[in-house]
Amino acid sequence: DADVTQTPRNRITKTGKRIMLECSQTKGHDRMYWYRQDPGLGLRLIYYSFDVKDINKGEISDGYSVSRQAQAKFSLSLESAIPNQTALYFCATSDPGQGVETQYFGPGTRLLVL
């Protein structure tokens, strides 16, 4: 079984709709992250959380919100989707106690906003 799972894997929505992307992990890590990946721009950090009570904005948080429901669950919401939020979204976890802090990524969610 995958350690970091994301649902849905693919989503098509319309401009103005609210959508939620979900991430679950079984690695037992406290730290979780949301990234988006766009051609030519690489991975950019949207939000990150170091524990259930800690939420931090990343490089590109405008238009997004997150919720850390439990250690294992971290959700990303687009309150009112717009076409330039069409991208590949990744959730990741990490454990700072293992030397170099390695991130473990989920399989991604492909989002298309029409």
Partner 1 sequence: QKEVEQDPGPLSVPEGAIVSLNCTYSNSAFQYFMWYRQYSRKGPELLMYTYSSGNKEDGRFTAQVDKSSKYISLFIRDSQPSDSATYLCAMSSGQGAQKLVFGQGTRLTINP
- Chain contacts with partner 1 (rule: CB under 8 A): 4, 31, 33, 39-45, 48, 56, 58, 90, 92, 94, 96, 100-108
Q: CA quadruple 66, 45, 73, 96: dihedral positive or negative? A: negative
We find the least distance from the C-beta atom of residue 34 to partner 1, in angstroms, to be 11
Q: Name which of 70 and 100 has its Cβ closer to partner 1.
A: 100
CA atoms within 13 A on the CB side of 61: 11
Grouping H, G, I as helix, E, B as strand and the rest as coil, residue 102 is: coil
Q: Name which of 16 and 107 has its Cβ closer to partner 1.
A: 107
Q: Name which of 7 and 102 has its Cβ closer to partner 1.
A: 102
Phi, psi of 85 (to 5 degrees): -95, 5
